[in-house]
Amino acid sequence: MARLFLGLDSSTQSLSAVVIELDTRKVIYEKSLNFDQALPEYKTKNGVLHSRDPLVKHSSPLLWAAALDLIFAGMKKDRVALGDILAVSGSGQQHGSVYLNEQAPAVLAGLNPQKSLVENLAGVFARKTSPIWMDSSTTAECAEIRKKLGGIKYTASRTGSDAFERFTGPQIRKFYKTEPKAYEKTAHIALVSSFMASLLAGKIAPIDFGDGAGMNLMDIRRKVWDMDALKATAPNLKKKLPLLASSGYAIGPVSAYFVQKYGLNAEALATVWTGDNPASVIGLGLIKPGQAAISLGTSDTFFGTMEKCLTDESGEGHVFGSPAGGYMTLICFKNGSLAREKIRELYKIADWKNFGEFVASTKPGNDGGILLPWFEAEIVPRVHQPGIRRFDLDEKNAAANCRAVFEAQALSMRLHSQWMGVAPDKIFATGGASNDRALLQVLADVMNCRVLRIEVSKSAALGAALQAAYGWLTVADKNPKWDKLVAGFCQPIPGSEIRPDKKAAKIYDALLEKYAACECEALDVI
């Protein structure tokens, strides 16, 4: 029998499945189900429910449950050998929360395969909708929690991050303040990840140290609920939270619902899920401390692994538990592709190939020209009032502006990742813009290290499948090693390595100071 493992990723816009065969190190199945298209009756746009308040972003936990039924039905139809799957794990969009009433444990334990998950779950919610990571309506609650915990530096060193609007603690506090009765009726609070794991396991699942760190509620060093943070957030919170556990920890056999309905093996293990970013760390093979990756997507994220827990005193970056043990760091820059696209539109540049040619036609350092690309309010550095700023840069020079936008993004990554104390010798680049060699050359020169492209379209789901394998091997007493487990699954694209140019790297060492001064000047006035 082939040793198969299933990883699911419940993200903002879709649910993805990846099945791996451990012995051949192959991904044997991948599929994604887009929420808006597959389940239009939930009326989401890009996975988000409509709200009159632009700061409020919610989704529906029933939509995620319906998607789980659909993806299993799809696997059965596609003749995936579901009976050969030894363990299932997963990852979820981080920070989002699900509110269950006291009937939930009994309903989960007795899921009826004659009905759909949605029908089964009809009476278990204490709150119909779930706030998700895009929500930024909790500025007041963040300030209250931060104040009670002793300020930015202390909140970050205690929980791994300063209080952020999208983090679960501030969201729970807002729920408690605005709907105290519904809060009181809430018996269990789950994250997206632990809610989905609960459906698979047929019982309330633990929250892992990776996703748990995105709540402002977990003591990041001791990996237990932080009683002061809980008290600062809402009353009686400890009772409503599940246990904390390592990612991939075996909860027990999968619920009979999935065995009877879809043919999963009755002995297959349901394991603890994690967040999509911690799962991507595994999916990209970033196991050793000091390894780092840059994902150039709608927003740009810089993340890597860290042995010791170092937190960011300025409160911009995050520290989460890594599923491979130790920690991971993450910095999220909102103006990623979004800003590059805006510059492309502004200068009417036909396509990304042209954009790359413009960048390549200009000199490293841009003769000192700097562009701060804050088209949208920025997370890092914190910019509440959007606006772009140019310093010694000719607005009419299209090529110089193309170089400037990416130089600023790379310089910002270098500047704002210094607190991590990680000096990577190579960085993996992934995401849409990573196939542009001119951009990757700028990145290699600014960071003064090798950059290699890695194309793992479903890195979170792959990481989740590997996490399932790790959980199963642990139970089977095989003493698994993460570096061996990921080997062969995540390889950089052959020939994609870009080496830093020594001369250009020196120019950027000097430009970094000017860039930092420009940021300070702009932040004072914006």
Draw the binding track, 66-85, toward ligand XUL (x: CB under 6 A; -: no contact): --------------------
Return d(Cα 171, Cα 257) in angstroms, integer: 32
Question: Does 332 interact with ligand XUL (rule: CB under 6 A)?
Answer: yes
How buried is 415 (Cβ within 10 angstroms: 0-12 exposed, 13-18 middle, 19+ buried)?
middle
Return d(Cα 389, Cα 522) in angstroms, integer: 7
Cβ proximity to ligand XUL: between 54 and 495 the closer is: 54
Q: Looking at 60-68, 90-98, 168-176, 471-479, which segment touches ligand XUL (CB under 6 A)? A: 90-98
Draw the binding track, 441-480, toward ligand XUL (x: CB under 6 A; -: no contact): ----------------------------------------
Return d(Cα 497, Cα 295) in angstroms, integer: 16
Return d(Cα 69, Cα 119) in angstroms, integer: 11
Strand-strand pairing, 300-306 and 327-333: antiparallel
Q: Looking at 47-55, 93-101, 111-119, 216-224, which segment touches ligand XUL (CB under 6 A)? A: 93-101
Strand segments, DSSP code E, in 322-455 are 327-333, 370-374, 387-391, 426-430, 450-453
DSSP 218: E
Return d(Cα 436, Cα 357) in angstroms, integer: 10
Size of the site for ligand XUL (CB under 6 A): 12
DSSP 305: E
The CB-of-94 to ligand XUL minimum distance in angstroms stands at 3
Cβ proximity to ligand XUL: between 197 and 349 the closer is: 197
When binding is defined by CB under 6 A, the residue of 4, 9, 10, 11 that contacts ligand XUL is 11
Return d(Cα 341, Cα 300) in angstroms, integer: 13
Cβ proximity to ligand XUL: between 12 and 459 the closer is: 12
Footprint of ligand XUL on 130-149 (CB under 6 A): 133
Q: Looking at 72-80, 89-97, 444-452, 510-518, which segment touches ligand XUL (CB under 6 A)? A: 89-97
Cβ proximity to ligand XUL: between 12 and 138 the closer is: 12
Return d(Cα 295, Cα 428) in angstroms, integer: 8
The CB-of-168 to ligand XUL minimum distance in angstroms stands at 11
Question: Pick from 375, 297, 371: which is nearest to 336 by CA?
Answer: 297
Footprint of ligand XUL on 312-331 (CB under 6 A): none
- Tokens representing residue 218 in the block: 């977990």
Cβ proximity to ligand XUL: between 90 and 275 the closer is: 275
Question: Does 276 interact with ligand XUL (rule: CB under 6 A)?
Answer: yes
The CB-of-366 to ligand XUL minimum distance in angstroms stands at 30
3-class state of residue 159 by DSSP: helix
Instruction: Name, in order, each residue with C-beta under 8 angstroms of 222's C-beta and a sequence gap of 6 or more.
Output: none
Question: Does 247 interact with ligand XUL (rule: CB under 6 A)?
Answer: no
Dihedral sign, CA of 284, 289, 294, 295? positive
Cβ proximity to ligand XUL: between 117 and 215 the closer is: 215
Q: Looking at 1-9, 18-26, 88-96, 221-229, which segment touches ligand XUL (CB under 6 A)? A: 88-96
Q: What is the contact surface with ligand XUL in residues (CB under 6 A)?
A: 11-12, 93-95, 133, 166, 214, 275-277, 332
